[in-house]
Structure 1
Amino acid sequence: MTTRILPVVGDADAARAITTLLSQLPDAEPAAPVGDSTSLIDTLARLAAESIDELPEVVLVHERIGPVPALELIREVALRFPAVGVVLVTSDASPMLFSAAMDSGARGLVGLPLSYEELAQRVQAAAGWSVGVRRHLGQGAEVFSGPGGIVVTVSGAKGGVGTTLTAVQLALAARASGMTTALADLDLQAGDVASYLDVQFRRSIVDLATIQDISPRVLQDAVFIHHTGIGLLLAPGEGERGEEVSERSVRQIVSALRNRYDVVVIDCGTQMNAANAAAIEMADTTLLLTTPDVVAVRATKRMVRLWDRLQIRKAEETVTVVNRHTKNTEIQPQLIERITGTRVARSAIPAHFKELQAVVDAGRLQDLDPKSTVKQAIWGLAGELGLVKAQEGGERKHGRPGGRPGRNRADRDRVRNPGPSAIGARRARGQIEP
């Protein structure tokens, strides 16, 4: 049997050395190396869309691959493409790294410098495992596959700017257009998604925090299906339990949601921590809510600078949404755009709280009057962001109208990873502003 092998190596010299050795293996069919994690995910997604049999049996991941770190990349491949055997190529063959690689889903580890015997043994073992998994998958096992949906995070520059209300209405707009939609509450200590939609559910995102491999069935058990059709992944009822949700678990959860739903909206609240920082990094589109007043705009600029310092998101990659907008205010969207360096959404949300008060107090935001100017503005924002299905002769399903293309799938996996200690280290040095 021929074994198809896909090397993932960023360094040109290392790529040549690995390819040369792979070509000497019996019955091996090495493909041209891919140079980064983005190219790997795109390649596997394209092949998986055709057929599971088109996927390579073995993927070799070099330790210095980027921008996603090697172990995170292995975990992503293992989750989304379980029929592929992944082997890590590394100069550190310590038991600790071996254990971490196995926990991430690797099927083997090859030390550097490469030896023919060790490489052949690991590739053969991974290929045999891959063939067995494909035989099992052919019997109807449930798996994630394909390129996945679009992820949008909604954050507030400060408290009270309408973050949760906007996130809920964006999710409702996407679902109403026929998109399968999930709404996740990552405001871990003070999440109000359940209150806005009058939901009582004992499971929360914490139930997924310690699970190594989130299967579709495990995800389904943690998600509450609202009567509108939206899948809700709620914040814990006890705020202190939010500390159990780590950066690593959020990356797994977001990946699992992306592979199950067309649209994933994540309410990140107003407080920054490692968990929602990971979600913002992984998002296709990041929204930052503000109001047109001096205090909120200063908070917006402060948040944008914080994200840039921590390498979470650049200003030009952030979309600022102006809530409670009036034509008479001195601070207009154009000024906010200049001050923050972000792109301000064309769809500003008007200041008409009276339209909202009854449904907010009742916890039935889904019942907001279709004639509401607030609802029309937020649903218009959903269209601007490409979260709704295209109408005939209208906009594309994924992407923004008006000549501003959305981030494509190559961009979505170009994730900068400051590591779980980056925020903590800067906080310890007093660099994170309150």
Structure 2
Amino acid sequence: MTIRILPAIGDPDAARAVTSLLNQLPDAEPAPAVADGTALLDALAGAAAQPAVDTGPGPAVAALPEVVLVHERIGPTPALELIREIALRFPAVGVVLITTDAGPALFSAAMDAGARGIVGLPLGYDELAARVQAAAQWAAGVRVHLGGNPEARPGPAGRLVTVTGAKGGVGTTVAAVQLALAARAAGRSVALVDLDLQSGDVASYLDVQFRRSVVDLAGIQDLSVRVLQDAVHDHHTGLALLLAPEEGERGEEVDDRAARQILGALRSRYEVVVVDCGSQMQSANAAAVELADVALLVTTPDVVAVRAAKRQVRLWDRLQIRKAEDTTTVVNRLTRSTEIQPPVVAKATGTRTARAHVPAAYKELQPCVDAGRMQDLDARSTVKQALWALAGELGLVESPAARQGRGSHRARPSLTGRKRKALTTGAAAGSGTGPGAASGAASGSGSGSGAGRFGVRRGQATAAGGPGPFDPAGPYEEG
């Protein structure tokens, strides 16, 4: 959803500074700043008075900006009085006050006047982005009730799960596919997105030939239901598939802004959105990891993969994408004789490890992988049982009663300029086998990726056999 923003700032220098920051916000469409409160009210009244083309209050509401920024020295009317008048006359507009005094007394007075947030001076990108996005989501919710946009939703509703591979060949894609199938089998509406933009293989694992991909949505500003349906493939399993492009070079067209918009549209229409992020970190899948309610990092229990997992976690931390403690690591291809057990992986990476571990049983997977029909994996497969148990651990197959009790998810802030620049220039490229590596089976060959933020309770590993003599402080430490 495009966020239209109208700044009301009298000082020209302050107006230029605010506009510069607003231009960096994803999906933001800032209007030229107005110089005083009178001009602001006139602009809002003019938007509300635009001729109606449909019945009901919708067109007038839809023409208004979602967010208005009011500077404390706007004049001639005091800022709080101006906010109160906007709230009374234009209740579908979210107002944010810009002030040098962000103390509790002014905050309470601003909220009483009808403001949806306060941003302190000097302005910072992260704080401004968070307040603008919160006000825009509130405005969208009000407009739904007023009938301004039948297709809009108040904010993200579906649960976003990202699956990232520590490196190529760890089994990311099969993990993502099976998690999506488990959620769908539980009766939930599920979208499976392939954001491994250069080498995504979700289509190959589900035997799909579909000419549209996520790239077709990248340049569209307003993702309506019809536009989204045209790009999504309805698989016979009930999954809604948004696939990676056939031409890997076109993946560069999907940046972090497009990814946020696409994932937001999907979350507003599906209960669960599972994203295969691959193992190569780019701005689009980095944005997905940052937004995720549940972020999984898939690794195998070997020194090379665990080192790669540690590098991935450190990368996310340096770019402020995700903290290690908000990441859940899934250990794939685990056996009793494996020297590196899940507690060792958790200690080496600083992440949580999922209680469900995936066993090494590629023979179970090979017929389905070769046929491109991962949905036909036998229910007796130990790999399928482990991954569906993981879905249960993550709450993707919870009962309807539990679903109703679960609150809405807080939207996470978007990529900052520093993160976007680092990922765009390739300085923050993640570990893996290279852009041409294909995603592999959960217990087989290929490349996969998974990353995440998920607050499940940390539990003891259930795999048989304890950690071997391997010392995580040794080989994992980078020289």
Aligned counterpart, 2:341: 332
State whether structure 2 residue 183 is matched by structure 1 residue 174: yes
Matches within 5 A, 1:19-30: 19-23=80-84, 27-28=88-89
Q: Within 1, Cα distance between the matches of 2:296 and 2:243?
A: 20
Seen in structure 2, the aligned counterparts of structure 1 residues 10 and 258 have a Cα distance that, compared at 3 Å, is farther
2:295 to 283, 286, 294: 286
Q: RMSD of the alignment, in Å?
A: 4.1
State whether structure 2 residue 253 is matched by structure 1 residue 244: yes
What SS class does the counterpart of residue 281 from structure 1 fall into?
Answer: helix
C-alpha contact (below 8 Å) 2:167/2:431 kept by paired residues: no
Deviations 1:326-356 (A, max 9, x none): 1211100000000000000000000011110
Matches within 5 A, 1:99-178: 134=146, 137=149, 141-145=150-154, 147-178=156-187
Seen in structure 2, the aligned counterparts of structure 1 residues 421 and 358 have a Cα distance that, compared at 3 Å, is same
C-alpha contact (below 8 Å) 1:387/1:398 kept by paired residues: no
Q: Within 1, Cα distance between the matches of 2:400 and 2:136?
A: 34
Seen in structure 2, the aligned counterparts of structure 1 residues 136 and 355 have a Cα distance that, compared at 3 Å, is same
Seen in structure 2, the aligned counterparts of structure 1 residues 172 and 311 have a Cα distance that, compared at 3 Å, is same
Report how far residue 216 of structure 1 moved. Answer: 1.3
Deviations 1:100-124 (A, max 9, x none): xxxxxxxxxxxxxxxxxxxxxxxxx
Report how far residue 158 of structure 1 moved. Answer: 0.6
State whether structure 2 residue 392 is matched by structure 1 residue 397: no
Aligned counterpart, 1:81: 140
Aligned counterpart, 1:359: 368
C-alpha contact (below 8 Å) 2:182/2:388 kept by paired residues: yes
Deviations 1:291-331 (A, max 9, x none): 00011000000110011111111100100000001121110
Seen in structure 2, the aligned counterparts of structure 1 residues 335 and 27 have a Cα distance that, compared at 3 Å, is closer
C-alpha contact (below 8 Å) 2:183/2:396 kept by paired residues: yes
Q: Within 1, Cα distance between the matches of 2:264 and 2:430?
A: 28
Q: Within 1, Cα distance between the matches of 2:287 and 2:311?
A: 19
Q: Within 2, Cα distance between the matches of 1:76 and 1:268?
A: 29
Unaligned stretches of 5+ residues in structure 2: 1-44, 46-60, 99-112, 433-479
Moved more, 75-84 or 227-236: 75-84
What SS class does the counterpart of residue 308 from structure 1 fall into?
Answer: helix
Aligned counterpart, 2:205: 196
Aligned residue type for 1:296: A
Report how far residue 247 of structure 1 moved. Answer: 1.1
What SS class does the counterpart of residue 160 from structure 2 fall into?
Answer: strand
Report how far residue 208 of structure 1 moved. Answer: 0.2
Report how far residue 424 of structure 1 moved. Answer: 3.6
Report how far residue 217 of structure 1 moved. Answer: 1.1
State whether structure 2 residue 427 is matched by structure 1 residue 421: no
Aligned residue type for 2:282: N
TM-score of the two chains, using structure 1 as the length reference: 0.70
Report how far residue 76 of structure 1 moved. Answer: 9.3
What SS class does the counterpart of residue 273 from structure 2 fall into?
Answer: strand
Report how far residue 423 of structure 1 moved. Answer: 2.2
Seen in structure 2, the aligned counterparts of structure 1 residues 12 and 321 have a Cα distance that, compared at 3 Å, is farther
Report how far residue 79 of structure 1 moved. Answer: 11
Aligned residue type for 2:153: F
Percent of residue pairs bearing the same amino acid type: 53
Matches within 5 A, 1:369-380: 369-380=378-389
Aligned counterpart, 2:313: 304
What SS class does the counterpart of residue 320 from structure 1 fall into?
Answer: strand
Bigger relative contact order, structure 1 or 2 (CA pairs below 8 A, ≥6 apart) = 2
What SS class does the counterpart of residue 403 from structure 2 fall into?
Answer: coil
C-alpha contact (below 8 Å) 1:35/1:65 kept by paired residues: no
C-alpha contact (below 8 Å) 1:6/1:58 kept by paired residues: no
Greater C-alpha radius of gyration: 2
What SS class does the counterpart of residue 260 from structure 1 fall into?
Answer: coil
Seen in structure 2, the aligned counterparts of structure 1 residues 337 and 27 have a Cα distance that, compared at 3 Å, is closer
Q: Within 2, Cα distance between the matches of 1:424 and 1:32?
A: 32
Unaligned stretches of 5+ residues in structure 1: 37-55, 85-129, 400-405
Deviations 1:198-255 (A, max 9, x none): 0000000010010011111111110000001000000001111111111110010010
C-alpha contact (below 8 Å) 2:176/2:274 kept by paired residues: yes
TM-score of the two chains, using structure 2 as the length reference: 0.64
What SS class does the counterpart of residue 184 from structure 1 fall into?
Answer: strand
Report how far residue 81 of structure 1 moved. Answer: 1.9
Aligned residue type for 1:413: R
Report how far residue 420 of structure 1 moved. Answer: 2.5
Q: Within 2, Cα distance between the matches of 1:27 and 1:75?
A: 20
What SS class does the counterpart of residue 409 from structure 1 fall into?
Answer: coil
Aligned counterpart, 2:351: 342
Q: Within 1, Cα distance between the matches of 2:322 and 2:81?
A: 38
Deviations 1:43-83 (A, max 9, x none): xxxxxxxxxxxxx9997886947647549945993799286
Q: Within 2, Cα distance between the matches of 1:24 and 1:83?
A: 17
Report how far residue 384 of structure 1 moved. Answer: 0.5
Aligned counterpart, 2:471: none
What SS class does the counterpart of residue 179 from structure 1 fall into?
Answer: coil
Aligned residue type for 2:174: L
Aligned counterpart, 1:409: 409
